[in-house]
């Protein structure tokens, strides 16, 4: 199993455009190996005093390539049975390096692949169906 993280940095005021694209056009319907995919808005330290990790620029971000300095961060978390499944479904849409591909992006998106070392299964379960308004 792998977990794929994609950090989207969306121009302030373009959140609706981004959410519409994610919900309706970035469908993974029928993608072999997809366990689940979750899009979440990143909250800052004002949300709770315990938050210590914010999605800030790093040394690989070239601010000259940015479309806007202000943005709303979202993180897409995808759980896949294998890296091969993920790459077959999504890999051909990924470009090397960091570049802006969509008009709503304030900065190039960032990606990470996590390989779980250990896990715990809780008593509660993941949602059993796709959210309302989201294409499968």
- With CA atoms as reference, report the closest residue to 88 among 7, 31, 35: 31
Put the strands of the sheet holding 2-11 in their side by side order: 34-41, 71-80, 2-11, 105-114
Average pLDDT of the chain, as a whole number: 87
In the predicted structure, residue 51 carries a pLDDT above the cut 80: no
The reported pLDDT for the residue numbered 135 is: 83
Alpha carbon distance, N-terminus to C-terminus of the chain:
21
- pLDDT class of 54 with cuts at 50, 70, 90: low
Q: Which domains are present in the chain?
A: 2-45+60-114 (3.30.70.100)
Distances in Å between the alpha carbon of 121 and those of 5, 112, 118? Answer: 20, 23, 10
What are the tokens at 80? 């896949």
**C-alpha–C-alpha distance, residues 84 and 87, integer Å:** 5
């Amino acid at each position: 199993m792998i977990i794929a993280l994609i950090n989207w940095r969306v121009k302030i005021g373009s959140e609706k455009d981004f959410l519409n694209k994610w919900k309706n056009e970035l469908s993974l319907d029928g993608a072999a190996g997809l366990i689940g995919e979750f899009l979440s808005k990143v909250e800052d330290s004002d949300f709770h005093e315990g938050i210590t990790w914010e999605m800030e620029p790093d040394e690989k971000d070239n601010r000259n390539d940015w479309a806007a300095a202000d943005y709303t961060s979202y993180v897409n978390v995808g759980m896949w049975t294998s890296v091969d499944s993920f790459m077959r479904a999504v890999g051909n849409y990924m470009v090397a390096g960091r570049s802006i591909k969509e008009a709503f992006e304030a900065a190039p998106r960032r990606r990470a692949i996590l390989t779980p070392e250990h896990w715990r299964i809780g008593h509660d379960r993941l949602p059993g169906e796709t959210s309302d308004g989201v294409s499968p």
